[in-house]
Amino acid sequence: MQVTQIAALDLSALAKAIADGEVTSVEATAVALNRLVSIGHKLNAVVRLDNARAMDAAAAADKLRASGAALPPLHGVPLAHKDLFYRAGDLSGGGSRIRADFRADVTSTAIARLDAAGALDLGRLQLAEFAMSPTGFNESLGHARNPWNPAHVPGGSSSGSGVAVAARLVTASLGTDTGGSLRHPGAMCGLIGLKPTWGLVPIDGVMPLSASLDCAGPLTRTAKDAASILSVIAGRDYLKGIDTGIAGLRIAVPGGYYRELLHPQIATALDEAVKTLTSLGTVVSETTPPDMTLINALMQLVMSVEAATIHRRWLIERPQDYADQVRARIEPGLYYPATRYVEALSLRAQLAEAWITACIGDADLALLPAISIPVPTIAATTEGNPADVAGVIGRLTHCTRGINYLGLPAASVPCGFDNADLPIAFQLVGRPYCEAIMLRAAHAYQSATDWHHRVPAAAELN
């Protein structure tokens, strides 16, 4: 198989090709490493790679296959992940100056589960500083660039993961989501960004931002690939039944708050997506969200208090080593009384129930915008009037951040392109632990559409 053909394979196809002997793990790993070095560095998506270790692991994977041994599901498949996931003995910088020399002494459970499933770990990918930005903003390491148009942001904070999967450098990548950090790069790079139910995927060995909100999950091109990764890292089977269709599935479309900032081009794409889902047999209803201002305030408090607790020593000793935009999001957490924090956690279950009742109602899932506005340029999110920059950043998280406070599973699903040829996505949100239903709906939608098959020019496959 030619290099470009290998690079074009998605996770499921590559895993099958390796298992069937059509592609060796050494070939697939060499292709991925070459592309991470060439295209990945152009798009500033890569933090560090361990070529020698990866090639040794690939050779060992090919040897095991040749021995006739039973193979695990991701045998020999090269992957790379957000630079928050620890591997014992390796650097893990968290996108920051402050942790640039930090070496982990543990391996995260999610990474260990991928190891056990046979996946190869090529290295770590770019992210927003301390995972603190929906655009991927990183003043010290440079901003990652959107493969659909490098003048635009790729979405963050799992920016390098989004770029690497969209540009066909790797077939899947783990990221984290505290206020939308898997769904933003998913939406802005044209990918499935799956934030699981809070607590479903272990987050030990992942640099925390806000323990009550942080979720680890995959960025992939297809829902089926997301199901493959989630099955491994959650230890449950999400591939079973994914092909059974969505006839009779009920999808609610909340209005009100979720339509407030909606750009007309995004509204049109979402309406078309709803029509497609209806044509597949889903029953669509409209619902009305509760007071999202309160839920967003609760999310802001929990996130900033937990982040400020982790960062307090550095805020005292090394305040100059934070980008101002990042520090400004952490510092409010220093000011809240402890009673507010306990109240915020105590209100969580009843507000999650209230949101589900209002937004999902009798349905199985809710369909929201992933982001309400077209993918902004890097300049629009870094330069000019600070109030304007803050406004753009706030609008990007309008439909995502509240879901983290509620702890519900959610996923971005690509559903079109805007007039500037940048991706548009909708977001599916469900009740706790309904990832299987969500992935089945996304898979059915992708089976009827081809948005996920489109390839950005930066991937250099044409």
Partner 1 sequence: MSEDLLRQVVVELNQAPEAANRTARATALVTDVNTRIATEALRAMPFDTSPYAYQAWLAQADRS
- What residues act catalytically? 82, 157, 181
The yes or no reply on residue 421 touching partner 1 (CB under 8 A) is: no
Inter-residue long-range contacts of 34-38, CB under 8 Å, 24+ positions, other chains counted: 34/3, 35/7, 35/167, 35/168, 35/169, 36/80, 36/122, 36/123, 36/164, 36/169, 36/170
Nearest Cα residue to 394 out of 180, 147, 122:
180
Residue whose CB is less far from partner 1, 255 or 394: 394
Task: List phi, psi (to 5°) of 230.
Answer: -60, -35
Binding partner 1 (rule: CB under 8 A), the pick from 23, 54, 61, 315 is: 315
Stretch that binds partner 1, among 77-85, 86-94, 192-200, 415-423 (CB under 8 A): 192-200
Binding partner 1 (rule: CB under 8 A), the pick from 42, 250, 340, 395 is: 340
Residue whose CB is less far from partner 1, 145 or 327: 327
Nearest Cα residue to 132 out of 310, 317, 348:
310
Residue whose CB is less far from partner 1, 48 or 432: 432
Residue whose CB is less far from partner 1, 90 or 435: 435
The yes or no reply on residue 199 touching partner 1 (CB under 8 A) is: yes
The yes or no reply on residue 365 touching partner 1 (CB under 8 A) is: no
The yes or no reply on residue 106 touching partner 1 (CB under 8 A) is: no
Binding partner 1 (rule: CB under 8 A), the pick from 70, 105, 316, 385 is: 316
- Taking the complex as a whole, how short is the minimal distance between the CB of residue 343 and partner 1, in angstroms? 4
Residue whose CB is less far from partner 1, 134 or 186: 134
Stretch that binds partner 1, among 82-90, 252-260, 362-370, 426-434 (CB under 8 A): 426-434
Give me the residues paired with residue 207 across strands: none
The yes or no reply on residue 342 touching partner 1 (CB under 8 A) is: yes
- Which SS3 state, helix, strand or coil, does residue 275 take? helix
Q: What is the layout of strands, in order, in the sheet containing 46-49?
A: 46-49, 120-125, 78-82
Angle between helices 11-20 and 223-234 (to 10 degrees): 70
Nearest Cα residue to 423 out of 161, 216, 152, 227:
152
Site string for partner 1, 272-301 (x = CB under 8 A): ---------------------xx--xx-xx
Strands 410-417, 192-195: pairing is: antiparallel
The yes or no reply on residue 419 touching partner 1 (CB under 8 A) is: no
Binding partner 1 (rule: CB under 8 A), the pick from 53, 250, 312, 395 is: 312
Nearest Cα residue to 159 out of 438, 442, 10, 378:
378
Residue whose CB is less far from partner 1, 280 or 345: 345
Total residues binding partner 1 (CB under 8 A): 39
The yes or no reply on residue 352 touching partner 1 (CB under 8 A) is: yes
Binding partner 1 (rule: CB under 8 A), the pick from 2, 350, 385, 462 is: 350
CB–CB of 197/238 below 8 Å? Answer: no
Task: List phi, psi (to 5°) of 195.
Answer: -95, 110
CB–CB of 396/371 below 8 Å? Answer: yes
Residue whose CB is less far from partner 1, 75 or 431: 431
Length of the chain: 462
Q: How many CB atoms lie within 10 A of CB 18?
A: 29
Binding partner 1 (rule: CB under 8 A), the pick from 2, 67, 279, 346 is: 346
- Taking the complex as a whole, how short is the minimal distance between the CB of residue 379 and partner 1, in angstroms? 22
- Taking the complex as a whole, how short is the minimal distance between the CB of residue 192 and partner 1, in angstroms? 21
Strands 410-417, 365-369: pairing is: unpaired
Nearest Cα residue to 285 out of 260, 259, 251:
251
**Residues in touch with partner 1 (CB under 8 A):** 197-199, 236, 293-294, 297-298, 300-301, 308, 312, 315-316, 319, 327-328, 331-332, 334-337, 340, 342-350, 352-353, 407, 431-433
